[in-house]
Amino acid sequence: MPELPEVEVSRLGISPYLVGEQVKSVSVRTPKLRWEIPFELQQIAGQVIRRIQRRAKYLLLETDVGTAIVHLGMSGSLRILDAPLPPGKHDHVDLFMMNGKVLRYNDPRRFGAWLWAENGVKHSVLNNLGPEPLSDELTADYMATRAKGKRVTVKQFIMDNKVVVGVGNIYANESLFTSGIRPTRESGSLTMTEWERLVAEIKTVLAYSIEQGGTTLKDFAQADGKPGYFAQELRVYGKAGEPCPECGQGILEQKIGQRNTFYCPLCQI
């Protein structure tokens, strides 16, 4: 599944071609993805895209009349085409621009979403979200306060979008490894020093992944079709049985909250 860095890389990739440009028309070939695509999305036709923002894993294409909200789901991707090429089987939505470019949404599993919010209305999918991990709102004090008395594992805690958005499975594994914290620890057991270390590593790992273009495992590629390169930098994720890059001990794997979890039994305590 595309995680926060992949979504941010998509935002950075499509923005130069769309921001400040006028939408000519919209083509919706599949009326339902994860949810029904609202007819109101057609209101974007004729509008200039003023900004493209990201909130959690949602991309927000803002215009003067409303905002198109895009979620890539399990396997969705966005491409910029220089011309309106014939759509493939899994090409579900196109935005045709007056400058000749086409924003094409492809989603083999159809678990993504295209939604619409009128100006001044906050869509329900954006409610109850925690702070952005790369913002100044995410601090060790904030995390320690939220975690006080909590028995849920620290890995599940940092992956809870109500606590902090966008720390998906890959990046939770990597951040916990580089901060030396075992993912099975109760979140309420971490000291302030450990929270300071973990928050710093979450920010570092996510920022570096964005710089590297995201993590291509199966489905994700950038808006220009190039893969992300952070997969080459993974230290523990997907490396069960391989030697720890720090101490040489074999990496262990177990399920936490139904998600594959990887850690070093010596380096992470």
Q: Tell me 16's DSSP state.
A: H
Q: Which of 3, 8, 62, 174 is catalytic?
A: 3
- The answer to whether 90 is a known ligand-binding residue is yes
What are the start-end ranges of the E strands in the chain? 23-28, 51-55, 58-62, 66-71, 77-81, 91-97, 102-106, 113-118, 252-256, 259-263
- The answer to whether 150 is a known ligand-binding residue is yes
| Catalytic (active site) residue 57 | yes
Q: Tell me the C-alpha distance between 112 and 38, whole Å.
A: 14
Contacts of residue 120, defined as CB under 8 A and 6 or more positions apart, other chains included, come to none
- The answer to whether 109 is a known ligand-binding residue is yes
Q: Which of 11, 54, 57, 155 is catalytic?
A: 57
Question: What three-state secondary structure class fits 113?
Answer: strand
Q: Around Cβ 101, how many Cβ atoms within 10 Å?
A: 19
Burial environment of residue 155 by CB neighbours within 10 A (0 to 12, 13 to 18, 19 or more):
buried
| Catalytic (active site) residue 162 | no
| Catalytic (active site) residue 122 | no
**Quick one: which H or E segment has residue 196?**
helix 192-211
| Catalytic (active site) residue 259 | yes
Give the active site residues. 2-3, 57, 259
Could you tell me which residues are annotated as the binding site? Answer: 90, 109, 150
Could you tell me which residues are annotated as the binding site for DNA? Answer: 90, 109, 150
